[in-house]
Structure 1
Amino acid sequence: MKKKKAIVVILSLIVLIVLSAGACLLIHSRYNGVYAVEGYGLCILMQNGSVKVYEVTDDYYSAEPGFDGLLLIDMLYSGLGKMKLVQTDEGLQMIDVGAQVTYRLLRKDALFLKDRTEVKEGMPVEAFAMFYQMYDENYAFESLYGADLTAKYEELKSRVNLKTTDAELFERMKELVTDLKDGHVELTFGDEVFCAAEYRPEWITDNEQLSLLSGVIIGRYAKNYTKFDDCLIRYGMLSEDVGLIIIHNMGTESLDKTKSTRAAMDQIVREFNDAGISSVVIELRFNGGGFDEASLLLAGYFTESPYLAYRKQVYCNGVFSEPQDIYVKPGKLFFDGDVYVLTSGYTISAAETFIRAMLANPNGRVTVVGEKTAGFYSDALERSLPGGYTYSLSNERYLSHTGEILEGKGIEPDVRIPVCVDAARAGRDDALDYILKSTGSIAIIRREE
């Protein structure tokens, strides 16, 4: 009798599995098709839950296996991240919930890719043409930098032929975009990294100077210095009532870009609130960016109610999309004190969107101390070409909560205090000294000396 019951249970489970698989297949099949991601140079092929991603321009395409993934009901998991699919009257949408960005997926016919030339390794002429088209169709700030990519391409294309070596092709690629003084325009081939923008100060590229600057903060100012193993966030105390949060990168490269950031900030804000901290210093002078999703999450620890942080648009073939509103949403924990944000010329991208989000906070309790930031806001649209080339470009335009176009406009500090290596050699950090004086605090390290 027990064996019969066991057999019935097993058969029932098999039936449930088969029915579940059939239901999933039915759900997934409704998404079957070829889609172009408007403004992002991508084509997505969905077939019964399997997802293949291609980079695509008007005349070319190339495989991007690193972006391939799968569907689980209406969630897409791939190298693009974790996205929710939503069918609307206007068509299919792909939503990055954390970053609050909606991507339009335009259904195409089955010949969409076949109408284009596939670029493979060993095709320098086609690779160079596809590189140009990706910029021409998606780069948002050609006029801002006074560049003419079409004229430059016409000048350079005769110097690319079947005999062009990989290294020579990389040189032509660099020449094409050299007028774009944009920190998100970056090319990589082998060990070489090229960026036409000159925004990196000497102290960020010189290990000795960088060690001096960070060493002074950690060794002479930060008490109870604590670091996390799974994210680039550190914290400590500058005085009995002033806390310090050091953020070197916004979020992490993973499906959940903010999980470790959330855990770290929960711990930090809880400890600061328990200690009765009245002011917090957020160190962003060494922050080269990351993910807006993490920036918005961080800003949520300093508000009790949601508010508009900024708006963003995507550029596609000469036209900007309608702006999408991006909000700061309050976290479970809240710090209700003054906030000082330290900046430098190396504070860039997602670090800048964090500051913009903080400055949009209606409470008006944020003071920026340091140097003007870089002024590069757009997400970096990262693409590649067969043969080991990778590159990025800016395809999005950010607008402040008041409607001001932000690209190329660094954030001016309320109090200008340049990064000073000589001060670090003398054991000082002028920005931290200013804040401690402004808050009426005495640095712990100096009180103990």
Structure 2
Amino acid sequence: MRHSQFAKLTWFSCITLSLILSGCKDDNNTPDIPATSADPLVGIWQAPAYGQVLDMQADSHQLYQLTSVSCQRIEFDMAHDKLKSSMQVSNDNNSIVNTFTGVKNPGIVMHKQNSLPDLCVNDLTANKGEANYQFDAQQDFEIFWQTFSQYYAFFDIEDVDWDEVFQLANNQISPQTTEAELVDILTQMVEPLQDFHVDVNNEELDIQFSVHRKDNLYDIALQDFMFTQQVELPFEPEQEEAFEIYFENAEQQYREAIGSHFVIDSDIETDDNETLFWATFENNIGYLNVDTMDLNEIGDSDNSVEQNKALLAETLDEVMEYFADVDGVIIDVRYNLGGDDFASTMIVSRFIDKFLHVYSKQARLGDSRTPLQQVIIGSQGSRQFLGPVAVMTSASTSSAAETFAMSMRQRANTTLVGEATAGGFSDGLDKVLPHGTEFSLSNEFYLTPDNEEFEGVGVPVDIEQAFFTLEQREQGIDLGLEKAEAWIMQQQ
């Protein structure tokens, strides 16, 4: 999931846009909503699995971030009318599905409440910049720990005892603990989770922390550089510069190896931002490289979600026209770090001709889970490709690119080639501490239609082949592409 900035809070993500809480009201105490309100969206709505409370009034709204020990107002500049248009109320008016202007798909189910939680009315936690705020390291540490304790879904993957983490970290906190020292403690707490959807960021302190379970392409190149140059970390400045050049050259070797498969003198097409490109290989095989699922990168960060969806749809129309007469297609997401699930599903929709249940989602809810939400895709566009498709993945294929692989796995006449994906599916659930440090965590489960879960291990492949190895780069070959081509030719 990729990262981008917004007012007073950061979109974390690698990979998926994550849901962010917002705020438009300033008054602390919100009255109960009259039962006779004509607008069914007006009311107090709560999503217990996400720690979110929405106070929705006729012409304003306020979002709250909630744990069992704290409630905070979260500021986020979201147009009220756009927020309302992304909320669908149930027939009995007791729940809504909120996509938060299309960012969250499927949307979060929120249930109507009679009033705000007591913590939000009588014991609201002050944020930095608000009246009565005073930095309290112990308070912020406990909010951080409690947030993970209530909402994080995957302590079992790395066998992390969160209660033990509390004791070890709590011993380091004192009234003299500074913001910088606290953030350092927080990063130490979550590092053992090895979850790339867990971030800790503080812009004022210039701290950005994340960690991942599997080696990505940067890690592979770093190890190869250290081996070939016989150097060790930490690098001297000249070694750092030499490695950056080495990594750029390694990426160029990877691109050239792919390019060697293109039909000589054939057209190579790309979208305006060069996030997708497509070409023809020998043996009449189409090739589509999808570099990101982030709609802000595919389109324009100044656009609405719907505007960027329209741009992607136009690009996919061109791709389908280009592939009209090919015998098979290779879709390469080995370098794709994720973005938006709805970008993934839009691509899948061009390779099916009927409704297809591609995966389901649910969130942790205490010791249980929320009800499953099925994601079912129908075909889109005037033309679809229904022939054999080979999807290429690597250990760097992350987040929304993994949901793409999981979805294509449900399609007939499809095979996955390369390496199991990175193993991080949940959207990042974004939070902020009173002193301003922002963090995210994984609270959602993604399941295949057969109820398989791949969090931590990644989507498996049908044909294994290591990617971005030193030997392949030095020889200018791509064994994964060769295996994908061979499989497609066998289907003809």
* TM bracket, shorter-chain basis: 0.7 to 0.9
Count of aligned pairs between the two proteins = 405
Give structure 2 stretches of 5+ with no counterpart. 1-35, 129-134, 223-246, 297-303
- In structure 2, what is the Cα distance between the partners aligned to 1:95 and 1:129? 29
1:16 corresponds to: none
Once the 2 structures are TM-superposed, how far is the Cα of residue 346 of structure 1 from its aligned partner? 0.8
Q: Report the equivalent of 1:33.
A: 43
**Separation in 2, partners of 1:440, 1:307:** 26
Match of 2:199 in 1: 186
Task: Say whether residues 1:269 and 2:276 are aligned partners.
Answer: no
SS in 2 for 1:88: coil
Question: Is the CA contact 1:136–1:317 (under 8 Å) kept in the aligned structure 2?
Answer: no
Partner of residue 214, structure 2: 199
2:244 maps to 1:234:
no
Structure 1's unaligned 5+ residue stretches are 1-25, 442-449
Name the amino acid aligned to 1:267: E
Residue 173 (structure 1) shift = 0.8
What amino acid is the match of 2:334? Answer: R
> How far did residue 119 of structure 1 move?
4.3
| Partner of residue 243, structure 2 | none
Deviation, structure 1 residue 212: 2.5
* CA distance 1:109–1:277, change in 2 (3 Å): same
* Distance in 2 separating the partners of 1:231 and 1:115: 52
CA radius of gyration, larger in: 1
Q: Does 1:398 align with 2:446?
A: yes
Letter in 2 for 1:69: M
TM norm structure 1: 0.82
Q: Report the Cα offset of residue 306 of structure 1.
A: 0.2
1:155 equivalent in alignment to 2:164: no
More strand by share: 1
2-structure distance, mates of 1:326, 1:186: 27
Q: Check conservation: 1:380, 1:395, Cα contact below 8 A.
A: yes
Per-residue CA deviation, residues 365-390 of structure 1 (Å, 9 max, x unaligned), is: 11111112122211221222344422
| Alignment counterpart, residue 335 of structure 1, candidates 385, 392, 411 | 385
User: C-alpha distance in 2, partners of 1:400/1:392?
Assistant: 24
Alignment partner of 1:76: what SS? helix
State the match for 2:137 in structure 1: 124
Residue in 1 aligned with 2:249?
208
Q: Secondary structure at the match of 2:337?
A: coil
Identify which of structures 1 and 2 has the higher relative contact order when contacts are C-alpha pairs closer than 8 Å and 6+ apart: 2
Shift of residue 195 of structure 1? Answer: 2.6
Pairwise CA distance, 1:245: 1.0
- Comparing 316-325 with 202-211, greater Cα deviation is found at 202-211
Does the CA contact (< 8 Å) of 1:218 and 1:225 recur in 2? no
How far residue 219 of structure 1 moved from its aligned partner, in angstroms, is 6.5
Aligned residue for 1:268, secondary structure, equals helix
The change in CA–CA distance for 1:207 and 1:36 in structure 2 (over 3 A counts) is: farther
Q: 1:203, CA displacement in angstroms?
A: 4.1
Q: 1:178 to 1:28 in 2, by over 3 A?
A: farther
CA contact (8 A) 2:430 2:441 kept: yes
The yes-or-no answer on 1:99 pairing with 2:105 is: yes
Report the identity percentage.
23
Could you list the per-position Cα deviations for residues 199-226 of structure 1 after superposition, in whole angstroms to 9, with x for gaps in the alignment? 2322477443233213432466474222
- Structure 1 residue runs of 4 or more that deviate by more than 6 Å after TM superposition: none
Kept after mapping to 1: 8 A contact 2:419/2:466:
yes
Give the counterpart letter for 1:252 in structure 2. L
Post-superposition shift, 1:230?
A: 4.7
Report the Cα offset of residue 439 of structure 1. 4.2
Aligned to 1:23: none
Shift of 1:237: 1.9
2:65 is paired with a residue of what secondary structure?
A: strand
RMSD of Structure 2 on Structure 1 (CA): 2.6
Q: Classify the secondary structure of the residue corresponding to 2:192.
A: coil
1:180-329 alignment runs, 5 A limit: 180-190=193-203, 191-201=206-216, 202-203=219-220, 206-218=247-259, 221=262, 223-230=266-273, 232-239=275-282, 241-253=284-296, 254-256=304-306, 258-273=309-324, 276-329=325-378
C-alpha spacing 1:331/1:251, structure 2 compared with 1 (3 Å): farther
1:108-119 matches, within 5 Å, as: 108-110=114-116, 111-119=118-126
CA distance in 1, matches of 2:91, 2:457: 36
Q: 1 CA distance for matches of 2:186 and 2:163?
A: 13
Distance (Å, rounded) in 2 between the aligned partners of 1:231 and 1:395: 33
Change over 3 Å in CA distance of 1:204–1:117 after alignment to 2? farther
| Residue equivalent to 1:347 | 397
